[in-house]
Amino acid sequence: MSVTIEKATAVRPFRVDIPNEAVEGLQRRVAATRWPSKELVADGSQGVQLATIQALARYWATDYDWRKAEAKLNALPQFKTEIDGVEIHFIHVKSRHENALPLLITHGWPGSVFELLGVIGPLTDPTAHGGKAEDAFSLVLPSLPGYGFSGEPAEVGWGPGRIAGAWAELMNRLGYSRYVAQGGDQGASVTDAMARVAPKGLLGIHLNLLSAFPTAVQAAIFAGYFPAPEGLLKRLAIALVAAGADKEPKAANATAAVFRRGYLVEQGEHPQTVGYSLMDSPVGLAAWMLDHDPDSYAKISHAFLDGAPSGGLTRDHIVDNITLYWLTGTATSAARIYWEETQGILAALKSGQKPPKLSLPVAFTVFPSELIQAPRSWAEKVYPNLIYFNEVDKGGHFAAWEQPELFSQEMRAAFRTLR
Amino acid sequence: MAGFATTSEKEVIATTVADGSIRPFRFGAPEEDLVELRRRIQATRWPDKETVSDRSQGVPLAKLRRLVEYWGTLYDWRKVEATLNSLPQFITDIDGVEIQFAHIRSAHDDAMPMLMTHGWPGSIIELLKVIEPLTDPPAHGGAAEDAFHLVLPTLPGYGYSGKPRSIGWNPARIASAFHTLMLRLGYPRYVSQGGDWGAIISEVLASHSPGGLLGIHVNMPGTVPADVLRHLRNFDPAPAELSDREKMAYDRLLHFYRDGFGYAAMMNQSPQTIGYALADSPAAMAGYYYEKFAEWTDSDGEPERVFRYDEMLDAITLYWLTNTGASSSRSYWEGAQAGGGPFDAVDIPQLPVAVSVFPAEIYRAPRSWGERSFGNIMYWNEVDKGGHFAAWEQPQIFCEEVRAAFKSLRT
C-alpha cells in the first residue's frame, strides 16, 4: 500500500506527446467551423471581431504546427507529481549558477506555462541575457490544477488557498528550503495566498496584478450577499478612503469594471454551462480566450491582422496557448477556478473571517497596460511589508509573455534584497 | 366597437402604408442542414462532470448529455416544421429588415387584432399552443366574443426574420417596426402582448402610444422604480421601507442579478464572442438555452417536468438552423446601449395596461410598483402556476388571462 502512495507522490519525468488523431481532429474542426454573421460595429465593442478570429482560424488550420510547441515544452525538464490528490505538472529548470534563488512562477487564466517560456533563459541564465550570475534563479513553473497537463480536481475546494498549500508542498518535495514566488492574474491570487500561509522557506513574493484588495474593498464588491448599509459605489468609496486610496478614482473604476467583465461573471457563476462551448468549438474557445481585456485583444488582433505582434504575443505563442487548452480538454475545469474563488471570498466574508495578516516581504511591479493601475497606496495597504514597488513603461496583463526581458529585470531587482 | 378594422379604414391604410409587399413564407430546412446538425451532435466533445451535485456550477453534464443525445437520434425537426407550415406565414420588409410573421385570422368577425411578441431564447414556437384557443375560443372553453386575430412576428435577428446589418435595432425601433406591420396588415386598431423582450417591446410601444394601439398585456412587466433599482444595482439588501410583497420581488431580482446574470453580462458586452460557439457547436447552444429553461420555468430547475424534449429541441433547433445565436444575442447589446434593464419601470401614463404575474417568473411584480409607472391599469392578476415562458408552460391559464385582460376594451 505504501508503495502506491510513494509512486503517486514521486516526482516523475514527463514529456508531452499528443496523439496525431487529436491534432488532426482539431484541424478538421477548425476547418469545419460554422461562422456567425459579422459584428455590426467597426471595433471590438461587440466582442471579438470576425476578421480577427477568422485570421486566427486560417492560421490554426493551415500553417500552424503543434509539434513545434510540443518540442518547445519537451526541450525543458518537465515532471509530474501528485499533491493533495491531484496530479501536478511542472517545468523545473535549475540554473547552472550556484546560489541561484529558487523561484516559483504561477500562470493565470487564460494563460498557461506557455506565457512563461520567454523568461526561462533570462532568469536561469542571466549572464547570457545582460544580467549577472548573482541574479540567477532556478525556476519551478507549475500548471494550475485543472489547467494544461495538470490533473483536474474532481471535488470542490480548489481555490487559491488550497493551490497555495500544494505549491508549498511542491517546493518542499523538490528540496527547496529557501525560495520566492511570483504571479499575475490567477497566479497573483495563488501567490498572495501562499504569502499569507507563509510556509517555511518562502522568503517573499512578487506580483504584477493586485488581486488582494483591502478586505473592505472586497466586501464592497461582493456586498450583495450580506447586509450592508450603503450602496456598492458608496461602500467602495468608503472602503477606498479606508485604504487611503480615495485619490485614485481611475483605479477604483478599473476595479469595478474588472468585476463586471462578462467572462468573469459567467465563469464565476456557471463555468459548466459555458464549458460546453469551450470544449466543443475550437473557435468558440479561441474567441472566449481573446476577450479577456481590451488591451491584450488589440495586441493579439495586430498579431493576426497586421503581422505586428506586441512583444512575445506572436501568432504562434497565442495559438500554442489556445491549442494547449483544446488538446488537454481543460477549458471547463480552468473556468472553474473563478467559481472556486467566488465561493471562497463569499465564505470568508460570511464568516467574518479576515484573511491572515501578511508580513512576508512583497514586491510589486505595475505594467502600464494592466487591467488596474494599482496605486502604491493600495499595495501598501494590503502589503505592509512592501519591499519594492516600481512602475515600468511597457507591457500589459501578460507581462512575462509580452515583455520577457523587462519582466526578468523586475524579478532581479525585486528579489535582490532577499538573496 | 364593432370590429377593429372596417373596410374603408383598411383601404385608407392600404394607400398610406402599403410601401412593402407581403409575401407568403414557408419553413423548409434543407435536408443537408439536418444531416450536418446530427453529424456535429455525434461529434460533440464533452467536458468532465461538474464538481458539485446540483446546478450551482451551471447545467449538469448528465442532463445536457441526455437532451443532446436525444437531439442527435430520435428528434425530428420536420414535425414542428409541418406545424409551423400549417399556419399562414408571411415575410415583409420593414425599415430595411425582413420581418417574418404568422398571421392567423379568427373566423369571428369582431375578433380583436393582437400583436404577440416572443423573447429570448424563444420564438413563435413558444406561442404555438395558444393560437387555437385565442383565435377559436368556442372550441376551447371560451366565448366567440373572446376571439383574437393574431399577428406573431419574429424579432429581427431571430429565426427566419432578417439579421440587421447595422446597429440601432433596439426595443423602440422594433416596436415601431411592429406597429408598421400591424398597419400594413390593415389593423388600424389593435392590442399588443408579450413576455421577455416581447413585454419590453409592448411597453415601449405603449409608452409611445402610437395611434391605433388600444392597450397591452404583459407577463413580464417592467415595474422596478428608479429608487429601488438604484439599490438593486448596488446589490443592496432589500430597503427597509419596502412592503413584504415588494421585498419578495426585490429578493428574487437580487438573486437574478447575483447568480443568474452571467449570460446577460456576456451578451450585453460581447454578443459576438459568445456567438462563435453558438454558431459552431450544437451542444454549446443547447447548454446555453437549456439553462434558461431550467432556471425560468415553474419546475424547480427540472424543465423536463413542464416541457417534452421535443418541445425544448424545437425551440433550440430553430436557432441552430437559422444560425441566429450571435444575431439574437445582439438584442442584449442593443438593449444595453439603449440603457435600462429588463425589469426597469416603463412610464405608461395613459394607455391601458394589463399584467399577469406568473409565480415562477424571474420576479413577481408587485402591483404597488406597477401603479407607480402605469397610469391606467385595466387588469392585474397573479396566477398560481407557470413561469417565464407563460404561453408555452401554461397555455390554458395564459389564454384565460389574455381574454380577461382585454375584456374591458371590447365593449
Which pLDDT tens digit goes with each residue over A172-190?
Answer: 999 999 999 999 999 999 9
Residue B146 is predicted with a pLDDT of: 96
- Which of B274, B285, B290, B327 best probes binding to A when mutated, by most A CB atoms within 10 angstroms? B274
Q: Which amino acid is at A365?
A: T
Q: Say how many CB pairs under 8 Å bridge A and B.
A: 212
Find, among A194, A2, A167, the residue nearest to A89 by Cα.
A167
**What band does A310 get if pLDDT is binned at 50, 70 and 90?**
confident
**What band does A217 get if pLDDT is binned at 50, 70 and 90?**
low
Selected residues 312-341 of chain A with any CB under 8 Å from a CB in chain B = 329, 331-333, 336, 339
Cβ atoms B99, B89 nearer than 8 A: no
Residue A5 is predicted with a pLDDT of: 54
Residue A259 is predicted with a pLDDT of: 74
How far is CA A356 from each of CA A170, A190, A223, A360, B347, rounded to the nearest angstrom? 22, 14, 20, 11, 51
Residue B51 is predicted with a pLDDT of: 97
CA of B263, closest CA in chain A: separation in Å? 6
Cβ atoms A146, A336 nearer than 8 A: yes
**Total Cβ atoms within 10 A of residue B332:** 22
Task: Pull the grid cell for residue A358.
Answer: 501578511
Residue A371 is predicted with a pLDDT of: 87
CA of A251, closest CA in chain B: separation in Å? 19
Asked whether the predicted pLDDT for residue B6 surpasses 80, the reply is no
**What band does A214 get if pLDDT is binned at 50, 70 and 90?**
low
What's the CA gap between B128 and A267, in Å, rounded? 35
Residue B162 contacts A, CB cutoff 8 Å = no
Asked whether the predicted pLDDT for residue B8 surpasses 50, the reply is no
Task: Pull the grid cell for residue A310.
Answer: 506586441
**What band does B11 get if pLDDT is binned at 50, 70 and 90?**
very low
Asked whether the predicted pLDDT for residue A223 surpasses 90, the reply is no
What's the CA gap between B291 and B301, in Å, rounded? 9
* Omega before residue A110 within 30° of 0, cis: yes
CA of A272, closest CA in chain B: separation in Å? 5
Asked whether the predicted pLDDT for residue B14 surpasses 80, the reply is no
Residue B256 is predicted with a pLDDT of: 92
Residue A215 is predicted with a pLDDT of: 57
Cβ atoms B347, B112 nearer than 8 A: no
Query: Under an 8 A CB cutoff, do A274 and B262 touch?
Result: yes
Residue A234 is predicted with a pLDDT of: 47
Which pLDDT tens digit goes with each residue over B15-69?
Answer: 333 458 999 999 899 999 999 999 999 999 999 999 999 999 999 999 999 999 9
User: Lowest-confidence range among A86-90, A124-128, A259-263, B259-263?
Assistant: A259-263
Residue in A46, A227, A281 closest to B270 by CB: A46
Residue A86 is predicted with a pLDDT of: 98
Query: Could you tell me which residues come within 8 angstroms of residue B347 by beta carbon, excluding any fewer than 6 positions away?
Result: B207, B373
Asked whether the predicted pLDDT for residue B347 surpasses 90, the reply is yes
Closest residue of A to B267, CA-based?
A262
Residue A213 is predicted with a pLDDT of: 65
Residues of B in contact with A279 (CB under 8 A): 45-47, 283
A338 is catalytic: yes
Selected residues 52-91 of chain A with any CB under 8 Å from a CB in chain B = 53
Residue A248 is predicted with a pLDDT of: 62
Q: What average pLDDT does this structure show over A254-264?
A: 79
Residue A375 is predicted with a pLDDT of: 84
How far is CA B245 from each of CA A116, B256, B259, rounded to the nearest angstrom? 55, 17, 21
Most confident of A159-163, A259-263, B364-368: B364-368
Residue B136 contacts A, CB cutoff 8 Å = no
**What band does A380 get if pLDDT is binned at 50, 70 and 90?**
confident
Which has more confidence, B314 or A248? B314
Residue B21 is predicted with a pLDDT of: 94
How far is CA A124 from each of CA A119, A177, A323, rounded to the nearest angstrom? 8, 18, 27
**Sheet containing A386-391: order of strands:** A12-13, A78-83, A86-93, A137-142, A101-106, A179-183, A202-207, A362-366, A386-391
Asked whether the predicted pLDDT for residue A33 surpasses 90, the reply is yes
Q: What is the dihedral of CA B306, B309, B310, B311, to 10 degrees?
A: 30
Query: Under an 8 A CB cutoff, do B262 and A336 touch?
Result: no
3-class SS letters over chain B: CCCCCCHHHHHHHHHHHCCCCEEECCCCCCHHHHHHHHHHHHCCCCCCCCCCCCCCCCCCHHHHHHHHHHHHHCCCHHHHHHHHHCCCEEEEEECCEEEEEEEECCCCCCCEEEEEECCCCCCHHHHHHHHHHHHCHHHHCCCHHHCEEEEEECCCCCCCCCCCCCCCCCHHHHHHHHHHHHHHCCCCCEEEEECCHHHHHHHHHHHHCCCCEEEEEECCCCCECHHHHHHHHCCCCCCCCCCHHHHHHHHHHHHHHHHCCHHHHHHHHCHHHHHHHHHHCHHHHHHHHHHHHHHHCCCCCCHHHCCCHHHHHHHHHHHHHHCCHHHHHHHHHHHHHHCCCCCECCCECCCCEEEEECCECCCCCCHHHHHHHECCEEEEEECCCCECCHHHHCHHHHHHHHHHHHHHHCC
CA of A314, closest CA in chain B: separation in Å? 21
Given A125, A185, A293, A295, the catalytic residue: A185
Q: What is the mean pLDDT of chain A?
A: 89
Find, among B15, B134, B47, B228, the residue nearest to A270 by Cα.
B47
Query: Under an 8 A CB cutoff, do B270 and A331 touch?
Result: no
Residue B64 is predicted with a pLDDT of: 98
Closest residue of B to A335, CA-based?
B57
- Per the document, the length of chain A is 419
User: Lowest-confidence range among A233-237, B49-53, B109-113, B268-272?
Assistant: A233-237
Predicted ipTM of the assembly: 0.91
Which pLDDT tens digit goes with each residue over A116-134?
Answer: 999 999 999 999 998 999 9
Which pLDDT tens digit goes with each residue over B64-118?
Answer: 999 999 999 999 999 999 999 999 999 999 999 999 999 999 999 899 999 999 9
What's the CA gap between B355 and A307, in Å, rounded? 57
Which pLDDT tens digit goes with each residue over A40-87?
Answer: 999 999 999 999 999 999 999 999 999 999 999 999 999 999 999 999
**What band does A218 get if pLDDT is binned at 50, 70 and 90?**
low
Q: What average pLDDT does this structure show over B157-178?
A: 97
Given A176, A338, A383, A388, the catalytic residue: A338
CA of B156, closest CA in chain A: separation in Å? 13
Which pLDDT tens digit goes with each residue over A312-363?
Answer: 899 999 999 999 999 999 999 999 999 998 888 777 767 777 777 889 999 9
Residue A358 is predicted with a pLDDT of: 85
What's the CA gap between B195 and B100, in Å, rounded? 19
Tell me if the pTM is above 0.90.
yes
What's the CA gap between A328 and A80, in Å, rounded? 15
**What band does B343 get if pLDDT is binned at 50, 70 and 90?**
very high
Residue B257 is predicted with a pLDDT of: 86
Residues of A in contact with B234 (CB under 8 A): 223-224, 230-235
Find, among A215, A193, A255, A153, the residue nearest to A381 by Cα.
A215
Asked whether the predicted pLDDT for residue B3 surpasses 80, the reply is no
Query: Under an 8 A CB cutoff, do A290 and B278 touch?
Result: no
Residue B34's DSSP bridge partners are none
Query: Under an 8 A CB cutoff, do A283 and B272 touch?
Result: no
Asked whether the predicted pLDDT for residue A243 surpasses 80, the reply is no
Residues of B in contact with A268 (CB under 8 A): 262
Residue in B45, B267, B280 closest to A283 by CB: B280
Given A92, A97, A206, A397, the catalytic residue: A397
Residue A2 is predicted with a pLDDT of: 47
Query: Could you tell me which residues come within 8 angstroms of residue A179 by beta carbon, excluding any fewer than 6 positions away?
Result: A101, A102, A103, A104, A140, A171, A201, A202, A203
Residue B10 is predicted with a pLDDT of: 37
- Per the document, the length of chain B is 411
Q: What average pLDDT does this structure show over A98-119?
A: 97
pLDDT above 90 as % of chain A:
75
Query: Could you tell me which residues come within 8 angstroms of residue B299 by beta carbon, excluding any fewer than 6 positions away?
Result: B305, B306, B360, B387
What's the CA gap between B275 and A283, in Å, rounded? 10
3-class SS letters over A187-231: HHHHHHHHHHHCCCCEEEEEECCCCCCCHHHHHHHCHHHCCCCCC
Residues of B in contact with A286 (CB under 8 A): 276
Residues of B in contact with A275 (CB under 8 A): 47, 58
For B290-310, letters b (16+ CB in 10 Å) and e give bbbbbbbbbbeeebeebbeeb
A397 is catalytic: yes
Query: Under an 8 A CB cutoff, do B272 and A228 touch?
Result: no
Cβ atoms A97, A133 nearer than 8 A: yes
CA of A26, closest CA in chain B: separation in Å? 11
Residues of A in contact with B233 (CB under 8 A): 231-232
Burial of A198: CB neighbours in 10 Å, binned 0-12, 13-18, 19+: middle
Which has more confidence, B136 or A216? B136
